[in-house]
């Protein structure tokens, strides 16, 4: 598999791009020929030829973007890189047109990409804490990174017909950064890569969980807050590959968790975490019955 990594960690003012370099180093250790990968790298701080960059896009099976979010957008050198390379890629393998036809120009905009079958991943780094996106009344109005700040970025890649792979976002890496936080993020990123580029043997070890939670109507708002906290805390666990919460469209008091764990050991450790025990402690009070939990494994 061919992997193209773009390091968008621009060097500017107090920003040295240290954590983005760390992510690239993890990529270099993970995407090795021994594991069946070919790897090309671009650092936007270095000189580049736009036409050569176009060839890297066209060559790759997966493009990985690493960049900090500056003033709620890409760093300006990464934006410049995109402007130059995407423009150079017109009718050279990245996109042919905007997708519309002269006889009906009102429809099909954004369908002229020529990279169908290729995929991309975005990682971002933030000074903002994760809670700025999740807590009521906080700055981002409970809008996720991908649905908010990165909406245009994702549409940009969709314009090329690239398919999005779930990314990962790293928070509190400026004002509140600690070595423990950095080490935890490094482990999370490696597990994220393993969950995407796993071998068949590794996939067989994964555990899939579906949990159905039925709350009492009078506790709906309070229960939703507890479940949101459970999701946010679980995402930080090393063995957590996926942890999604859904609310029923028919019954707003019914919630469903969809989880993927690296292995049985990771799930067992999850069940011993304080945030899980806190949820267990409110079951008899806020739920109408015990949660329904289904443990499954993927069928080949």
Task: Provide the pLDDT for residue 203.
Answer: 61
Query: Which structure tokens are listed for 103?
Result: 């006889």
What's the pLDDT score for residue 235? 87
Q: Which parts of the chain have pLDDT scores under 70?
A: 199-203, 300
Inter-residue contact 9 to 69 (CB < 8 Å): no
pLDDT at position 239: 84
Determine whether 48 is exposed, middle or buried from the number of CB atoms within 10 Å of its CB (0-12, 13-18, 19+).
middle
| Radius of gyration from C-alpha coordinates of the chain | 21
**Residue whose tokens read 């229960």:** 223
**pLDDT number for residue 202:** 60
- Can you give the pLDDT at residue 170? 96
| Antiparallel, parallel or unpaired: β 254-261 and 38-43 | unpaired
Segment 52-88, tens digit of pLDDT: 999 999 999 999 999 999 999 999 999 999 999 999 9
CB atoms within 10 A of CB 285: 10
pLDDT at 300: 63
SS3 119: strand
Sequence-distant (≥ 6) Cβ neighbours of residue 101 within 8 angstroms = 108
């Amino acid at each position: 598999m061919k992997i193209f990594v773009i390091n968008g960690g621009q060097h500017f003012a107090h920003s040295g791009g240290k954590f983005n370099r760390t992510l690239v180093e993890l990529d270099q250790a993970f995407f090795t020929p021994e594991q069946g990968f070919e790897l090309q790298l671009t650092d936007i701080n270095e000189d580049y030829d736009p036409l050569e960059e176009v060839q890297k896009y066209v060559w790759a099976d997966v493009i990985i973007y690493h960049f900090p979010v500056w003033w709620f957008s890409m760093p300006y050198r990464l934006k410049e890189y995109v402007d130059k390379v995407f423009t150079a890629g017109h009718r050279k393998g990245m996109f042919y047109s905007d997708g519309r036809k002269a006889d009906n120009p009102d429809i099909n905009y954004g369908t002229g990409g020529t990279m169908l079958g290729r995929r991309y991943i975005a990682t971002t780094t933030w000074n903002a804490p994760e809670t700025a996106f999740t807590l009521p009344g906080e700055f981002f109005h409970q809008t996720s990174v991908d649905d908010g700040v990165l909406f245009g970025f994702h549409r940009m890649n969709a314009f090329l017909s690239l398919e999005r792979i779930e990314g990962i976002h790293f928070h509190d890496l400026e004002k509140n950064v600690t070595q423990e936080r950095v080490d935890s993020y490094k482990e999370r990123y490696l597990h994220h890569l393993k969950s995407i580029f796993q071998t068949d043997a590794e996939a067989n070890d994964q555990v899939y969980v579906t949990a159905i939670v039925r709350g009492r109507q009078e506790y709906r708002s309070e229960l939703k807050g507890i479940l949101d906290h459970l999701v946010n805390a679980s995402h930080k666990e090393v063995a957590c590959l996926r942890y999604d919460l859904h609310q029923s469209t028919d019954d707003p008091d019914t919630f469903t968790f969809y989880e993927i764990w690296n292995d049985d050991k990771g799930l067992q450790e999850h069940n011993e975490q304080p945030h899980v025990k806190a949820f267990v402690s409110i079951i008899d009070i806020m739920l109408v019955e015990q949660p329904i939990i289904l443990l499954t494994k993927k069928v080949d």
